[in-house]
Amino acid sequence: MTNKERALLIAEQAHANQTYDIYPYMYHIRMVMRILEDLGYDEDTIIAGILHDTYEDTTLTYSKVKLAFNERVAEIIYCVTDELGRNRKERKLKTYPKIRSNWRAVVVKIADRIANMKHSKQYTSDMFKMYQKEFSDFKEAINNPEHPQSEIQKAWDLLEQLSN
């Protein structure tokens, strides 16, 4: 069994009782995975994309992910996991510096945003408009010029196309 297949099984079990709009949560997880695959990212980034919501929404821990995969995957997920806050804005302001610190976390967060935008464009136009409005602040908050821009730009380009 491949690492990606194991990650999908873990995500499926961890998110078993959760939904994403009218779909099982795996709908969102598979969207993120496919975006990362289509853009040509490495296995660790794809696995982190599959598991990106697990620390935030399930009982899966950093230690268990590190043991099952490696520290890089565990760290990417940690970086994209929302910090606590009184509202969305506060949570994001606390979380964005973590994302910005790790280029693979930036990529996973962009793929997550792409998946959310694609879905909301079709189903919840208010959310889509919110993501459009947030685009420039989002990019400014997590973009880090010290990261390998050639690796990140393809994800930014796709997100920018959706945001226009």
Sign of CA dihedral 132, 115, 66, 154: negative
Among the listed residues 12, 43, 57, 82, the single catalytic one is 57
Candidate list 37, 56, 82, 151, residue with the active-site label:
56
Taking phi over 0 as left and psi of -120 to 50 as alpha, with beta for the rest, 28 belongs to alpha
- Examine the residue annotation and report whether 44 is marked as an active-site residue of this protein: no
Residue with tokens 């393809």: 154
Range of the domain at 133: 3-163
Whether 124 shows a pLDDT value over 90: the answer reads no
pTM for the structure as a whole: 0.97
Instruction: Say which residue the tokens 């940690």 belong to.
Output: 78
How many domains does the structure of the chain reveal? Answer: 1
Clarify whether 90 is annotated catalytic: no
Q: What is the CATH number of the domain that holds 32?
A: 1.10.3210.10
Q: What residue type is assigned to position 71 of the chain?
A: E
d(CA 99, CA 105): 5
The arithmetic mean of pLDDT across residues 38-61, rounded, is: 97
For 86-111, the pLDDT digits (tens) are 999 999 999 999 999 999 999 999 99
